[in-house]
Chains A and B, each alone.
Chain A
């Protein structure tokens, strides 16, 4: 099975339902557990820039599948701490530069396994240092956040910052009102949100903006009907969800769209059964892909956005979990 998933990869080619649609939990648990043993594979190294995200995805999927202890606790903590840099932030893997995306994953992983206090043992500083790194990336004029010292701004980073600070209980370090106003400025006529003011709506950005409003308890600022309508129109006849109007479905959007709908209490605006079946059909494709030669998967890596290991499974389980809970 390919280590890589992501937009353009998670769909399925056929509409035919397999005989049995069920969660292949044992296989998925095993798959995640052995991800770190595949160091002789090119893809392992080609996806190093996503390693810490990958641990978060795999870990969360394991928790959702009822196997919270499937990854070794101490090694997980140790690996996370190895990714920290002197500035307090975390990189994708040891030796990689600090970035908001990985800093959030680090905080999430430690919170998930009840190990946030381990941060205090880090040679680069504890929770306060991490929070200070996150807060330092806020643009105090506009309220949004940069991803790192190079200054790219995006509502993804704004969300990551607020979430990391909320977990660390340090939102008072940033100007929350300005951040919220910035999210509002990213709202488009369709009720959805983009990366920066003026940018086109995209369901991934909707997730981050609605998430930011949800964390700050300011969902009253959203145009819930219009937003819910736009999100519900992401569902296509085969049950899958797309990221923007007139685009193809992909399993990754199942998560961005569905979790956004859940935050505004409108999951019932789409067909849950059809979505569940779509996701489970993707799972079958994932298993079938085991029979593909490794060569083909390697050959394809550079042609797509490389999402690491476990993302597909994380997306699948998070989404299914939300569907079943709703």
Chain B
């Protein structure tokens, strides 16, 4: 069982089948009646074959018969449908059984330490290779991502730190490639955070990667401004960096100024909601009610007011070119409400302005009319 040659056979065989399937996919089956009939026959055989295979796998696992043939059967089923979560579980049971065997043999002196590590590594590597094409084909399938994380966790558990680390490093490259293909992939960003967290782990000789990841968001935003996933990650990373580097008040303020400059530059597209959400996030820094959790918690109210005024001016400048962007009016209202908290009340002029902006919003953004009416009513009630 410990001879890993059988794994290679299984996986190489698997790859050949996979190629054949790809070739098949390129043909157009729907071209004639006769192919339709053939397809129906094929389907029936295929269905009954899958069910038979399924039943066999369940039976074999019950009997704890974790043979190479069983692994091959799970490969076949998973290539047909990676959503079969139970089959992924079977696969992990097979590997767990194998890892236990290897470790037992090493403990009993039948296997050298080097051989132990290389056998575990082979199993993990081959399975990472097996699921790679599946991941490309089904990038939104939770179970594939889960299995990949599990494999990497086994590497951390069973291998020497350097070796495990290099596997995790390869994952960072892989996920960068995937996010290059689809820069908003929800799973991709989630997986990236997991990979980074593991690479930062001291057990793998890691250290903080917050700066690098922050730079990565800058790069991704540079390629596509409306990448909200990147803006989101950026908001979290900034807090990490400032905490980890025990940033002084001045350093925090420099970071804040940089971010404001960055978002102003991005807002040359004033219709993109990703940018405005981030802008709103930066404005939170000046809201005395929630500033405590921001990158600059101890700014004086006087400084906050100066910042808010500067934002108001920036937005008013924008309006001249983009009167039809609803976001500028929302941002102006946000600024006004923060200002009201800082100076303990709204001036009559501000109140009139807000009413004008809300009217503008009702007209530009009728879908959310109910929200603008609620805002208006609350304003009249809370700040008479």
Contact = CB atoms under 8 A, between A and B. Distances in A.
A203 to B, nearest CB: 11
A49 B85 CA distance: 7
B369 interface: yes
Interface stretch (B10-18, B67-75, B232-240): B232-240
A227 to B, nearest CB: 12
B34 interface: no
Contact of B86 (A96, A232, A266, A296): A96
Nearest to A200: B232
Contact of B54 (A42, A95, A152, A202): A95
A228 B371 contact: yes
Given A245-B228, A245-B273, A305-B140, A190 B369 contact: no
Contacts of B142: 152
A175 interface: no
B216 interface: no
Nearest to B146: A152
A196 B146 CA distance: 14
B189 A200 contact: yes
Contact of A49 (B84, B184, B274): B84
B92 interface: yes
A295 B33 CA distance: 12
A228 B122 CA distance: 50
Interface stretch (B44-52, B157-165, B308-316, B344-352): B44-52
B100 interface: no
Nearest to A205: B186
Nearest to B373: A268
B124 to A, nearest CB: 16
Given A232-B371, A245-B273, A305-B140, A45 B50 contact: yes
A99 B89 CA distance: 11
A254 to B, nearest CB: 14
Contacts of B277: 189-190, 230, 245
Q: Which of A150, A201, A296 has the largest count of B CB atoms less than 10 A from its CB?
A: A150
A90 to B, nearest CB: 12
A235 B368 contact: yes
A172 interface: no
Contacts of A150: 89, 92, 146, 150
Given A91-B86, A245-B277, A246-B226, A295 B39 contact: yes
B368 A269 contact: yes
B284 A229 contact: no
A269 B39 contact: no
B1 to A, nearest CB: 23
Interface string A118-133: 0000000000000000
A245 B274 contact: yes
A271 B369 CA distance: 8
A229 B281 CA distance: 13
Contact of B83 (A97, A233, A306): A306
A200 B228 contact: yes
A45 B140 CA distance: 20
Contacts of A233: 273, 368
Interface residues of B, number: 55
Interface string A177-220: 00000000000111000011011111000000000000000000
Contacts of A239: 367
Contacts of B30: 293, 295-296
B233 A200 contact: yes
A278 to B, nearest CB: 11
A274 interface: yes
A305 B25 CA distance: 18
Given A150-B150, A235-B368, A269-B371, A40 B228 contact: no
Contacts of B232: 188-190, 200-201
Contacts of B58: 95
Contacts of B371: 228-229, 232, 266, 268-269
Interface residues of A, number: 57
Contacts of A315: none
Contacts of B51: 45
B265 to A, nearest CB: 18
A113 interface: no
A33 B141 CA distance: 28
B43 A244 contact: no
Contacts of A306: 81, 83
Contacts of A99: 85
B36 interface: yes
A73 interface: no
A198 B236 contact: yes
A48 B84 CA distance: 8
B325 interface: no
B155 to A, nearest CB: 16
Given A200-B189, A200-B233, A271-B366, A298 B43 contact: yes
Contacts of B25: 299
A274 B367 CA distance: 8
Contacts of A95: 54-55, 58, 86
A270 interface: yes
Interface in B174-193: 184, 186, 189-190, 193
Interface of B: 25, 29-30, 36, 39, 43-44, 46-47, 50-51, 54-55, 58, 80-81, 83-86, 89, 92, 137-138, 140-142, 146, 150, 184, 186, 189-190, 193, 226, 228-229, 232-233, 235-236, 272-274, 277, 280-281, 284, 366-371, 374
14 contacts: A46-B80, A48-B84, A95-B54, A198-B236, A200-B228, A233-B273, A245-B226, A246-B228, A266-B371, A268-B370, A268-B371, A268-B374, A295-B29, A306-B83
The 10 closest A-B pairs by CB, nearest first: A268-B370, A269-B371, A189-B281, A245-B228, A271-B367, A96-B86, A200-B232, A97-B86, A246-B226, A49-B83
Interface of A: 7, 40-42, 45-46, 48-50, 91-92, 95-97, 99, 148, 150, 152, 188-190, 195-196, 198-202, 228-230, 232-233, 235, 237, 239, 244-247, 266, 268-271, 274, 293, 295-296, 298-299, 301-306
Given A200-B229, A235-B367, 15 more contacts: A7-B140, A46-B80, A50-B83, A96-B85, A99-B85, A189-B232, A189-B284, A200-B190, A200-B228, A233-B368, A245-B226, A245-B228, A246-B272, A295-B30, A295-B36
